[in-house]
């Protein structure tokens, strides 16, 4: 079973696509009629800077043939990609027989644009992290629909004639598609996800927009990165750490150590840290610790959501859990505080893989439509990008949306990533 977390995206189209540059061969026109598009040169690159490790922290080795001890073809134990030897190089742990594809093993993902590169980090060790209160794993991996959707929107970028419209991404994760949209400069962007996914999203803004200025005051992110101290953080930044006592059974959420002396635990989510990992966070020395923990500990404990001013307008990274109506109210209030109009574009990717996700997404979209968009006499375009896996959940999602008056239709089927995955694009009006 392929496990993928939601990511979302919306774009106001009109008329024929406006090509920004020659983007390689494209099969199909991608129009509203439901065409098939195959991109021959997705401009993304997965970069491996250090040897990957398996879930037991063993260093993995590069392989291009099936391991001798296997009776079936190896598959990626993180994303589920089958038949790894047929895709060329992959990584294999000889000790515990753990395998990953090159995309899951990479530490950085780069997406090339005409005038620069969007770069986001990924750390799949977060997917394998163990211990109470560990971070939500799936935002720490850039999944196939993100790059295909970024290309889809890049080929359709329209110049803004008036005040820049707002694009809202639900379940942004690492935020690749939102960051590409911000780089294109035709939208102000609101990227949302659960609280423990916000650190990697904010890190992506700092990495790609070094001159962006946090709107609550302070220096550009290029200066803030060199001056801000780090401190121990739980994934959701609860700021409720207490020292552990010897009668508590626990293991460190980062290194899995069990040395009680000087260890701390979040009283809200029970995320625990040994003394060594906590001291490393306080001193800023993360050389021996995973990247996800470094990103998680960046900045002050009070920061979860954050707004940035950049050349293309505002980029707001904000927590939004679809299960809680109060979080929608807080998001709308923050957007109005920043003088942002209701979103004209709402997008999401890989939302039809789990019944609970589908059941949460539909009322979330209805709430955005009825409480924020329609009261202001606005309309928004909804775009859902979902990797095709032959699951009935995709049809269930479309039926549930139509029951709420959201008539989504299949606009295109995209292929062309490194492993030729297929992504369906659905469009509707909110």
Each residue's pLDDT expressed in tens, for the chain with a length of 430 residues: 333 323 322 223 222 232 333 333 334 444 434 556 555 455 566 676 677 877 777 888 988 899 988 989 999 887 778 888 888 889 999 898 889 888 888 888 888 888 889 998 887 776 655 454 555 666 778 887 888 888 888 888 766 666 789 999 999 988 999 999 999 988 999 999 988 888 889 889 999 998 888 886 443 444 444 445 677 888 777 778 888 776 666 778 887 777 767 788 888 888 888 888 888 888 888 877 777 788 888 766 666 788 999 988 999 999 999 999 999 999 999 999 999 999 999 999 988 878 888 999 999 999 999 999 999 888 999 999 988 766 688 889 999 999 999 999 998 888 766 566 788 899 999 9
Q: Which residue in the block uniquely carries the two structure tokens 């935002």?
A: 139
- For residue 94, the tally of other CB atoms under 10 A from its CB is 14
At residue 166, φ and ψ (nearest 5 deg) are -105, 135
CA R_g for the chain? 21
192 vs 69: CA distance, rounded Å: 44
Cα three-residue angle 226-124-350, rounded to 5 degrees: 105
**Where do the domains of the chain lie, and which CATH numbers do they carry?**
7-47+134-225+302-429 (3.40.50.150), 61-104 (no CATH), 241-296 (no CATH)
Q: Which residue in the block uniquely carries the two structure tokens 């090509």?
A: 19
Q: Are strands 313-319 and 306-310 parallel, antiparallel or unpaired?
A: antiparallel
Q: How many CA within 13 A on the CB side of residue 232?
A: 22
Token readout for 172 is 């942004």
- For residue 86, the tally of other CB atoms under 10 A from its CB is 12
The predicted structure's pLDDT at residue 283 = 84
207 vs 236: CA distance, rounded Å: 21
The predicted structure's pLDDT at residue 32 = 38
Token readout for 77 is 């134990």
Contact 200, 237 (CB under 8 A): no
The side-by-side arrangement of strands in the sheet containing 99-101 is 61-63, 90-92, 99-101
The residues with which 383 forms a beta bridge, in sequence order, are 9, 427
Length of the chain: 430
Token readout for 49 is 């800077």
Give whole-number Cα distances, 57 to 70, 79, 101, 128, in Å. Answer: 21, 18, 17, 10
Which three-class secondary structure string do you get for 108-136? EEEEEECCEEEEEECCHHHCCCCCCCCCC
80 vs 99: CA distance, rounded Å: 10
153 vs 71: CA distance, rounded Å: 42
Contact 160, 184 (CB under 8 A): no
Cβ contacts of residue 163 below 8 Å, gap of 6+? 341
Taking each continuous run of H as one helix and of E as one strand, the counts in the chain are 10, 21
Contact 276, 113 (CB under 8 A): no
The predicted structure's pLDDT at residue 281 = 85
**pTM recorded for the entire structure:** 0.81
237 vs 61: CA distance, rounded Å: 35
- For residue 306, the tally of other CB atoms under 10 A from its CB is 20
């Amino acid at each position: 079973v392929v496990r993928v977390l939601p990511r979302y995206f919306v774009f106001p189209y009109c008329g024929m696509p406006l090509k920004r540059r020659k983007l390689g061969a494209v099969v199909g026109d991608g129009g509203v009629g439901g065409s098939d598009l195959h991109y021959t040169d997705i401009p993304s690159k997965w970069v491996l800077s250090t040897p990957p490790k398996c879930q037991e922290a063993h260093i993995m080795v590069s392989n291009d043939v099936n391991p001798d001890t296997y009776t079936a073809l190896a598959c990626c134990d993180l994303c589920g990609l089958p038949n790894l030897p047929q895709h060329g190089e992959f990584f294999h742990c000889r000790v515990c027989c753990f395998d990953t594809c090159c995309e899951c093993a990479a530490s950085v993902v780069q997406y090339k644009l005409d005038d620069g590169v969007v770069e986001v980090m990924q750390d799949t060790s977060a997917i394998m992290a163990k211990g109470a209160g560990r971070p939500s794993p799936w935002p720490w991996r850039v999944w196939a629909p993100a790059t295909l959707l970024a290309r889809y929107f890049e080929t359709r970028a329209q110049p803004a004639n008036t005040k820049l419209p707002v694009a809202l991404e639900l379940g942004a994760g690492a935020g690749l598609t939102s960051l590409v949209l911000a780089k294109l400069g035709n939208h102000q962007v609101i990227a949302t996800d659960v609280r423990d996914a916000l650190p990697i999203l904010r890190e992506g803004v700092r990495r790609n927009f070094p001159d962006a200025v946090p709107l609550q005051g302070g220096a550009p992110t290029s200066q803030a990165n060199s001056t801000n101290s780090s401190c121990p953080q739980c994934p959701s930044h609860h700021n409720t750490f207490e020292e552990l006592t010897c009668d508590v059974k626990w293991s460190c959420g980062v290194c899995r150590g069990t040395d009680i002396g000087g260890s701390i635990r979040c009283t809200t989510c029970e995320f625990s840290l040994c003394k060594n990992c906590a001291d490393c966070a306080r001193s800023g020395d993360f050389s021996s610790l995973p990247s996800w923990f470094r990103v998680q500990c960046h900045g002050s404990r009070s920061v979860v959501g954050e707004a940035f001013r950049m050349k293309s307008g505002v980029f707001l990274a904000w927590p939004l859990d679809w299960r809680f109506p109060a979080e929608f109210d807080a998001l709308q209030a923050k957007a109005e505080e920043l003088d942002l109009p209701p979103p004209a574009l709402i997008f999401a990717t890989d939302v039809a893989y789990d019944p609970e996700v589908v059941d949460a997404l539909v009322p979330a979209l209805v709430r955005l439509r009825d409480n924020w968009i329609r009261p202001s006499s606005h309309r928004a375009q909804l775009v859902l990008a979902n990797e095709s896996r032959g699951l009935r959940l995709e049809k269930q999602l479309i039926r549930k949306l139509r029951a709420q008056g959201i008539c989504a239709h299949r606009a295109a089927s995209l292929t062309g990533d490194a492993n030729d995955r297929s992504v369906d694009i659905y469009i509707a009006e909110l």
